[in-house]
């Protein structure tokens, strides 16, 4: 059976020689699910001045770490099928070389959950409401796209926004009032109205507003394409442009927008792509500390909400 670890193809440009034979471009995990955040790494025996790259249409922001490896976050689109390709361009004094790695994306069976929401949210949208939702979705994507121009603002691992039971996980199918709707593009945490919501890492407040589906919300730009969002709040404690610190209280749990009850919906983007926010916790946790989700449990799948 072929090893699932990604293979490397080095494509030398006309003006440059190839990288060292020991060079390797890799993606971890080797078989990520749709919507996963991944680590892309370039290892080389050569001294490199800089590395840039792309994956799934989004830039990769490589940083040389203490062990000499160039690493970046990347993302697997939620609708990815079969494979996604990462590409890197390594720049050094002798020229530029390119590397390519293709990762297999396994087919995932989507588990659906039955939800009951207020009738006004389950009926077909009128043209004005549909236009509002489309505009709000575009604004959310734009926050992620602009984040690629923001330098990395965090130095410590990501936290969860609440230490409470997770009631719905990323990627589940949503059936509202018996009608198949969409996939759940976030993680829901149990909470009563007024309980604290904390910033999961240092960042700049990119958006504070009230959306039709997400209710009162906050978007934080953490830099290098990484954005987290906090939905259905009852209160917000920050303003657009504020710099917030890891663990700072930024708002309070609520039941605004399309909900089945009060809770926090935590979402994340890498650029314009919706991703599993718990992957940020797992991928930045110190070695040996696991996923950082211990003690959460599966909770009650009834307390859920859709992504806007």
Q: What is the pLDDT of residues 294-303, one digit of tens each?
A: 333 333 333 3
Q: Which residue has the higher pLDDT, 3 or 162?
A: 162
Looking at CATH, the fold of the domain delimited by 112-284 is given as Glucose Permease (Domain IIA) (2.70.70)
Q: Please tell me the pTM assigned to this model.
A: 0.82
Residue 4 scores a pLDDT above 80: no
Separation of alpha carbons 255 and 258, rounded Å: 8
Residue 70 scores a pLDDT above 90: yes
**What pLDDT is recorded for position 16?**
32
* Burial (0-12, 13-18, 19+ Cβ within 10 Å), 19: buried
Q: What pLDDT, in 10s, does the model give residues 179-225?
A: 445 678 999 999 999 999 999 999 999 999 999 999 999 999 999 99
Q: Find out if CATH 3.60.21.10 is the number for domain 9-105.
A: no
CA 184 to chain CA centroid, Å, is: 13
**What pLDDT is recorded for position 196?**
98
Q: What percent of the chain has pLDDT over 70?
A: 77
Q: What pLDDT, in 10s, does the model give residues 284-293?
A: 998 655 544 4
**What pLDDT is recorded for position 106?**
82
- Segment (H or E) for 275: strand 273-275
Q: Residue 197 in contact with residue 162, Cβ under 8 Å?
A: yes
**What pLDDT is recorded for position 47?**
87
pLDDT classification of 111: cutoffs 50, 70, 90: low
Q: Where are the domains of the chain?
A: 9-105, 112-284
**What pLDDT is recorded for position 30?**
87
Residue 2 scores a pLDDT above 90: no
Q: Beta-strand (E) ranges in 63-202?
A: 63-64, 70-75, 82-92, 95-105, 112-115, 166-168, 173-176, 179-183, 187-190, 196-198
């Amino acid at each position: 059976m072929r090893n699932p670890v990604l293979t490397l193809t080095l494509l030398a440009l006309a003006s440059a020689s190839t990288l060292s034979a020991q060079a390797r471009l890799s993606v971890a995990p080797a078989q990520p699910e749709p919507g996963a955040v991944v680590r892309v790494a370039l290892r080389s025996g050569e001294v490199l001045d800089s590395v840039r790259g792309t994956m799934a249409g989004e830039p990769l922001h490589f940083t040389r770490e203490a062990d000499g490896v160039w690493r970046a976050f990347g993302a697997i689109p939620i609708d990815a099928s079969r494979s996604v390709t990462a590409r890197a361009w390594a720049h050094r004094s002798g020229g530029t070389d390119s590397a390519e790695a293709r990762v297999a994306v396994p087919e995932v069976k989507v588990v659906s959950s039955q939800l009951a929401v207020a009738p006004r949210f389950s009926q077909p949208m009128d043209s004005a409401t549909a236009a509002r939702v489309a505009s709000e979705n575009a604004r959310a994507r734009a926050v992620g796209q602009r984040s690629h121009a923001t330098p990395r603002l965090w130095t410590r691992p990501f936290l969860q926004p609440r230490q409470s039971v997770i009631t719905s996980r990323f990627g589940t199918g949503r059936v509202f009032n018996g009608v198949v709707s969409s996939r759940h593009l976030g993680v829901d945490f149990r909470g009563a109205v007024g309980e604290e919501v904390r910033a999961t890492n240092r960042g700049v407040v990119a958006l504070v507003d009230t959306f039709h589906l997400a209710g009162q919300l906050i978007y934080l730009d953490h830099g290098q394409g990484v954005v987290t969002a906090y939905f259905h709040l009852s209160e917000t404690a920050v303003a657009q442009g504020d710099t917030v610190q890891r663990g700072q209280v930024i708002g309070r749990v609520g039941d605004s927008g399309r909900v089945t009850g009060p809770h926090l919906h935590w979402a994340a983007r890498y650029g314009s792509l919706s991703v599993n926010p718990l992957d940020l916790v797992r991928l930045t946790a110190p070695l040996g500390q696991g996923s950082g989700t211990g003690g959460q449990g599966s909770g009650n799948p009834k307390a859920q909400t859709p992504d806007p």
